[in-house]
Structure 1
Amino acid sequence: MYASLPGIDVYFEDHGAGAPLVLLHGGMQTLDLSFGALMPLLTPHRRVIPIELQGHGRTADPADREVTLANQAGDVVGVLDHLGLARADVLGFSWGGYVALETALRHPDRVDRLVLAAVNTRADGYHAEIHDPEQWATSTRMPSEHDFTAMVGEYERYGISTFEAVNAKLQPIVGAEQNWTPEQLATITAPTLLMIGDHDFVRVDHAVAMQEAIPDAGLAVLPRTKHTKVISRVGLVAPLVEDFLAR
C-alpha cells in the first residue's frame, strides 16, 4: 500500500497488531531483502510497518525530489501520519539506520524506542580499507557478489529506479566526513539499541563511541557477522530486539 506524501508516494506494509514498530531497510535493498527473515519473528508480538524509502523497491525516485536524510525522515513521519499513529518504535538497518537516526533527532516526539543496526556517524567510523579502492574490492567486510546480484535483481524486478542512479545519490551521504556530531547524539531522547557485526565495515570502537554519546543506549556486537548480515542473523537479532522493545 502507499502513503501519498508531498512529492512522493511511499510504499509500506502493515502487519500484525500491538505496539507499532517501523522497519527501515538498508541502502540499495528492499523491505524483503532486509527484513524478509526477521518480520515473521516480530509480527506475532507487535504491529510491524516496513517502509520502502525513496528510490528503493516500490517507492519511486522522483526527478524533482532530492534524496536527503531530512526528506526521508519526513517520509517516515508522513507514513505515521497516514496511519494515524502519534509515535512508534523505529528500527533502521544501515542506510535505514541513517534515516532512523535522523528521524529521532528531527522528530523526537514521534519515536519511542530506537534500534540502529550497522550505522556510523562519520567517514572515519569505517575501517580504513573501505577508503582504498583496491582493498575495498577484495575486503571480506564488504557485500559479496551474491549480495550485489540480489540488490540489482530487486531493481530489475520492480523497474522503477536503477541501482546505479540511486547508489550515486546515496554515496555522498554515506561517505560524508560527518553526518552527526557527538553533541547531536547527546540530544537523542529515545532509549536506543545499537547493533553491529564484529566483521562489519563500520568499526566496533566507533559503535562504542556512539553508545557513549547517546544518553540511554546499549550495544550488541554480533559474532562472526559482517555488515550485510547484521540484520539477517535473526536468531540473535529477534530476541535482542524483542527484549529491548519490551523494557
Structure 2
Amino acid sequence: MEIYFEEHGPRTGRPLVLLPGALSGVATSFGELLPLLAARRHVIAVEFQGHGRTPDIDRPFTIEHFAADVVELLDRLGVERADVLGWSMGASVGLRLGTDHAGRVGRLVLASAGFEPSGAYPGLLEGIQDLRPEHLHGSEFHEEYLRTAPDPGGFARLVEKMKVLDADLPEWTRESVRALAAPVLLVLGDADIVRPEHIVEMFRLVGGGVPGDIEGLPASRLAILPGTTHVGVPSRAAWLAPMVEEFLGAGEDDGTGAQPTRRST
C-alpha cells in the first residue's frame, strides 16, 4: 500500500508523528497545529488507508491495521523511535502503538479518545450507524476528500467502512493501559465525546492524579480544554502547541531553516 505522509521542520531530534481523526486528512486534523510544532521539531504527518491522499485497498479499516501501517512507514523512513500525537481515531491508533509497539514510541499525546467504548457518552457511538455520506456533504471533511483523494468518488465507501470500524471499536484492559512505558499527555475538550471522568480514570492508570507537591510531578499529564467540543480540539492550536512542546521537551530551533516537504512512499 502507498502511504501518504508529509515531513516538516528541522530534521533533528526524535520525530513527532501526527495521526489524524476519522474521515480526516492532515489539513482538517492538524492544519493549525502542524506549523506551530514544525517550527522546532521534525514532524511526520500521516494519512491513513482510504483517507486523504492515501488510496484505499481491499482491507477493512481497523485500529490494528492502521498502527501496523505507521510502524511500516517508520521502517521505510529508517525511524527507530518517534513521539506520537493522535486526535480522535488517531489517538486510538497512538494508544495501540504504545501498547503493542512500545519500543517504537517515545512519548504519547492522545487527544479525544479513551481506552474503551463505554468511555464515550451513551448513544453517541450507536448514532454513528445512522450516518449517511450525504450528511457530510459540504463539511470540511468532504471538501478535503474531494480536493485530495486519489478517487474523489470514493467518499461513500470511506464513510461506510468507518461505520464498520465504529461498530466494533477496540478496547484496552486497565492493566495494559497501566503498563504503558511511554509517558502520556491526555487531552480532552470539556464538551468532547468522551466523558471527562473516563479520561480522569485513564490519567490515574498512567500514573497521574497524585499530589505533586508531595510526591513529585508524574511523567504523564492531563489537559482539559475549556469551551471545546470534539471537532473543536484541533482548532485550539494556540493552547495545544506550548503544552505539547513542553511535554515533549522540544529543544531550541537549531537554525537549519528546513522547509516543509511532501512525498509519499
Sort the TM-score into its range (normalised by shorter chain): 0.7 to 0.9
Paired position in structure 2 for 1:76: 70
Asked whether the 8 Å contact 1:120–1:206 carries over to 2, the reply is yes
Please state if 1:188 is matched with 2:191. Answer: no
The answer to whether the aligner puts 1:57 opposite 2:60 as a matched pair is no
Corresponding residue number in structure 1 for 2:120: 126
Counterpart Cα distance in 2 of 1:24 and 1:184? 21
After alignment, is 148-157 or 196-205 more displaced?
148-157
The within-5 A match list for 1:133-144 is 133=127
Whether contact under 8 Å (1:88, 1:112) holds in the other structure is: yes
Cα shift at 1:73: 0.8
Q: Distance in 1 between matches of 2:244 and 2:138?
A: 27
1:231 aligns with 2:234: yes
User: 2 CA distance for matches of 1:231 and 1:218?
Assistant: 18
Q: Distance in 2 between matches of 1:150 and 1:121?
A: 27
Give yes or no for contact 1:21–1:47 (8 Å, CA) kept in 2.
yes
Q: 1:66 aligns with which of 60, 63, 83?
A: 60
Write the distance in 2 (CA, Å) between the matches of 1:179 and 1:80: 24
1:197-242 C-alpha deviation (Å, 9 max, x unpaired): 0000111111111111224531100000000111220111001100
Shift of the alpha carbon at 1:166? 2.0
Corresponding residue pairs, total: 231
Q: Which runs of 4+ in 1 moved over 6 A?
A: 145-148
TM-score, normalised with respect to structure 2? 0.80
Q: Greater shift after overlay, 210-219 or 95-104? A: 210-219
Structure 2: which amino acid aligns with 1:14? E
Residue 39 of structure 2 corresponds to 44
CA distance in 2, matches of 1:146, 1:167: 9
SS in 1 for 2:45: strand
- Give me the whole-angstrom Cα distance separating, in 1, the residues matched to 2:227 and 2:234: 13
Q: What SS does the corresponding residue of 1:45 show, helix, strand or coil? A: coil
Please give the alpha-carbon distance, in whole angstroms, between the structure 2 residues aligned to 1:81 and 1:14. 15
Q: Is 1:94 aligned with 2:84? A: no
Q: How far did 1:130 drift?
A: 1.8
Q: Does 1:245 align with 2:251?
A: no
TM-score, length basis structure 1 = 0.86
Contact 2:21/2:86 (8 A) holds in 1: yes
**SS where residue 212 of structure 1 aligns?**
helix
Q: Distance in 2 between matches of 1:152 and 1:115?
A: 26
CA distance in 2, matches of 1:14, 1:150: 23
Unaligned runs of 5+ in 1: 1-7, 138-144
Residues in 2 aligned to 1:49 and 1:193: alpha-carbon distance in whole angstroms = 19
Shift of 1:179: 1.6
Residue in 2 aligned with 1:11?
4
Displacement, 1:75? Answer: 1.1
* Contact 1:123/1:176 (<8 A) preserved: no
AA of the residue aligned to 2:159: N
Q: What RMSD over aligned residues (CA atoms) do the two structures have, in Å?
A: 2.3
Matches of 1:12 and 1:132, distance apart in 2: 32
Percent identical pairs in the alignment equals 40
CA change 1:147–1:233 in 2 (3 A) is: farther
Structure 1 equivalent of residue 141 of structure 2: 151
Matches of 2:161 and 2:204, distance apart in 1: 30
Task: Point out where structure 2 has 5 or more consecutive residues left out of the alignment.
Answer: 208-218, 251-265
Residue-by-residue CA offset, 1:53-98 (whole Å, 9 max, x unaligned): 11100001102x2322121111111111111111010000001111
State the distance in 1 between where 2:126 and 2:105 align. Answer: 37
Shift of 1:168: 2.3
Q: Which has the larger radius of gyration?
A: 2
AA partner of residue 77 (structure 1): V
- Residue in structure 2 matched with residue 4 of structure 1 by the alignment: none
Shift of the alpha carbon at 1:146? 8.3
